[in-house]
Structure 1
Amino acid sequence: MSTSSKPAHLDTKGFPAPSEGFVVTHLLIVADQDRSREFYRTVLGAEVVRERDPVALRLSNTWLILNSGGGPTDDKPHVIASPPQSAHVLTSALNIRVADIQAVYREWKARGADFLTPPKDRGAEIRCYMRDPDGHLIELGQATGILDQL
């Protein structure tokens, strides 16, 4: 049994580094690590675990890794890492589930979040979307009717 007060999936500095099994993190390629780090820290309340190269953030019960783009490397030949090229093409979205969407919407909007629309009731859920400084789409949702379907 471990005598550490940190969960087994974190190292001593809080970085997601499992001693066994695995941890899921979400990688976002960003144009400016400092700007994006401050957005996630200030608006969403993320804890900064590593400042840059790459930025590592603890966001509620998950981690975000923010890194700069670049060309292919020997472990990913023919792959270019780049921030979103168009705000109109969705290739990935961070999905954040909350208990009270109206309260979170008001709080994050006051902190500077730019929402596409206010929360909309879709029957199964209430949801709305915002973007980070690079245009990554973030869905904010609260389960409602979908819970009756489970």
Structure 2
Amino acid sequence: MRREDLPAPEAGILLTHFLTVSDVARSRAFYADVLGGEVVLDENPCIVRLANGWIIMNPGGGPTPDKPDVTLRPPGDPQTVSGFLNIRVADIGACHREWSARGAEFLTPPLDRRAELRCYLRDPDGYLIEVGQATGMLEGVFADPPAGTR
């Protein structure tokens, strides 16, 4: 294993995304086989390099000395989300076709949202993943403000 395969910067910071998963092998297969990531470490924790970032996965568990009041567990209600993985792609049509052929189940096909083309899928634990391609935003057309904020 090479240092550059790991999320271990020699200087500065590096952003990774940690997911609490119910089945490490199933999630590892999804992020590697469906989304095309590279497994860097199988378990404890599982690390998958995906494009220019890393997904780190471990099962849930109770408090530890460094997080004494925190319990980790996968999402309980897939209809309520407080955060999600946001993946930006150069060609959303090609990405949608490729990942669908590998077993990804998208909530909708890519939709034109003026600022971007966008669609969503879920991983095996129900984590929401947005896949987007910048379109209008490249020309100064941005998303409408959220409802009720005007």
Q: What is the aligned counterpart of 1:53 among 26, 31, 44?
A: 44
For 1:100-145, what per-residue CA distance to the aligned partner results, in whole angstroms no more than 9, with x for missing partners? Answer: 1111101100100010011110111110000000000000001110
CA distance in 2 between counterparts of 1:58 and 1:102 reads 23
Task: Verify the 8 A CA contact 1:13 1:49 in the aligned structure 2.
Answer: no
CA distance in 1 between counterparts of 2:44 and 2:32 reads 16
CA distance in 1 between counterparts of 2:135 and 2:25 reads 36
Q: What is the aligned counterpart of 2:25 among 15, 21, 34?
A: 34
Deviation at 1:51, TM superposition (A): 0.3
Q: Tell me if 1:134 matches 2:89.
A: no
Q: Tell me if 1:124 matches 2:115.
A: yes
Secondary structure at 1:105's aligned position in 2? helix
What RMSD in Å do the two structures reach over aligned CA positions? 1.5
Secondary structure at 2:3's aligned position in 1? coil
Q: What is the correspondence of 1:7-86 to structure 2 with a 5 Å cutoff?
A: 12=3, 14-86=5-77
Ranges in structure 1 where 5+ consecutive residues have no aligned partner: 1-9
CA distance in 2 between counterparts of 1:12 and 1:69 reads 27
For 1:32-86, what per-residue CA distance to the aligned partner results, in whole angstroms no more than 9, with x for missing partners? Answer: 0000000111101100000011100110000110111000111001111010111
Q: What is the aligned counterpart of 2:88 among 77, 82, 97?
A: 97
Secondary structure at 1:74's aligned position in 2? coil
Ranges in structure 2 where 5+ consecutive residues have no aligned partner: 142-150
Identity of aligned residues (%): 57
Counterpart position of 1:106: 97
Q: Letter of the aligned partner of 1:142 in structure 2?
A: Q
* Number of aligned positions between the proteins: 141
Deviation at 1:13, TM superposition (A): 6.6
TM-score using structure 2 length: 0.90
CA distance in 1 between counterparts of 2:9 and 2:2 reads 7
CA distance in 2 between counterparts of 1:143 and 1:22 reads 26
Secondary structure at 2:64's aligned position in 1? coil
CA distance in 2 between counterparts of 1:19 and 1:120 reads 40
